[in-house]
Copies of this chain bind each other. A is one copy, B any other.
C-alpha cells in the first residue's frame, strides 16, 4: 500500500469529474494533482463548479499541458467515443480508470455496431478489465486499464448476475424497466434537458436502442454461459440523481423468491456497498442519493413463477465516480471503504 497517490482527472468539468473530486477530497491516501478541461482551461474549478470553490484544488488545464511524470492514476471522464485515442496516448506507467463506455465491451464488433464506428484502440481493449468491483476484484488489482461500468448496467447486473450464475432464474424473458435522473445525460447544453422540458413529466427514451443494453447482456452472458438478450427500457425522471431498475424475471423450476433473496444475501453479505433489504421492504433512490450503495430486494409476483426485483443506485456514485474510487482502492490496496462510507443526504 503506497502512502499517497497522485491523481489526474481528465475531463473534470463534467458531472462525473466533479463527483470524483467530491469523494476524493475526503480520501486520506489520494492527492488531486491535475484537473483537465480543455474548453475551460485556465479557469478555477470554483468558477465551473461553485460547490468546489474554497477547496484548495488545482486550476483546470488543457490535456496537452499535463505533465504526467508524477502522476500515478488517471481517471478519464471524457465523453464516449473521444476516449480511445486519448488513453492510447497516455504514458505507460499510469494506471487508468476510464468512466466512459469506450472500453466496456470486450467484443469490438459489438462496439462498432452500437457506437457506429470501428473501435480505435483494439489492442488496448484486450487489456481492459470491466470494473464491476464486487465481481472482478482480482482482475482489477492487476489491471492497467479499468473500464468503469455504466450506471444502468451496474444497477441491473448486481442483482441479476448471482441469480443467473446460480441458475435460479431463467435466462429468457428478462425485462428491465429503468428510471433515471437527469444527470445521466451529463452537463452539455441541450434543449431536451432544460429544466422546463423535463420538470413535471416522465418519458421513455431509447426503447430497444440504448447502448447500455449490450453492456448488460455481456455481464449476464458471461456468468450464465449463454447468450442472453434482455428487454431494456430506460426512462427519464424529473430528478437529478438516482436509478431505479424494476426487473421482471421468471423463476427456474421449483425456485422461490426466498431462494433468490437468500442467494443475494449470500453473494453480498460481506460487501460494504451492496445491501439486500428484508422481505417486503421497498428500495427507493432516496436512500442511496450521494452514496456508493446499491440497495435491492426481490418480490413475488401474483403470477406464479414470476418475481420482481427492484434495485437502486445513485447513477453518479455507484453508477460512476464512487465505483471508480472503489476500483482505485482495489488497485492500490487501500481499504475498500476508504472515502466511500457515505450516508445519503436525505431529504
Contact = CB atoms under 8 A, between A and B. Distances in A.
Given A173-B173, A287-B50, A179 B202 contact: yes
B287 A290 contact: no
A198 interface: yes
A263 B53 CA distance: 20
A82 to B, nearest CB: 19
Contacts of A230: 303
A22 B287 CA distance: 12
Interface string A40-63: 000000000111111100000000
Contacts of A275: 53-54
A344 B46 CA distance: 12
A25 B196 CA distance: 22
Interface string A232-254: 01010111111010101000000
A256 interface: no
Given A207-B299, A347-B196, A191 B202 contact: no
Given A194-B194, A238-B238, A284-B203, A344 B189 contact: no
A277 to B, nearest CB: 8
A229 interface: yes
Nearest to A341: B26
A113 B344 CA distance: 39
A143 interface: no
A15 B203 contact: no
B204 A301 contact: no
A248 B175 CA distance: 8
B240 A347 contact: yes
Nearest to A345: B290
Contacts of A301: 208, 231
Contacts of A229: 302-303
A92 interface: no
Interface in A260-305: 275, 277, 281-291, 293, 299-303
Given A194-B193, A195-B194, A201 B242 contact: yes
A188 interface: yes
Contacts of A51: 286-289, 291, 343-344, 346
Given A196-B15, A242-B201, A282 B207 contact: yes
Interface string A59-70: 000000000000
Contacts of A199: 182, 195, 199-200, 238-240, 347
A205 interface: yes
B285 A202 contact: yes
A-B pairs, 4 with minimum CB distance: A201-B286, A51-B344, A203-B284, A196-B347
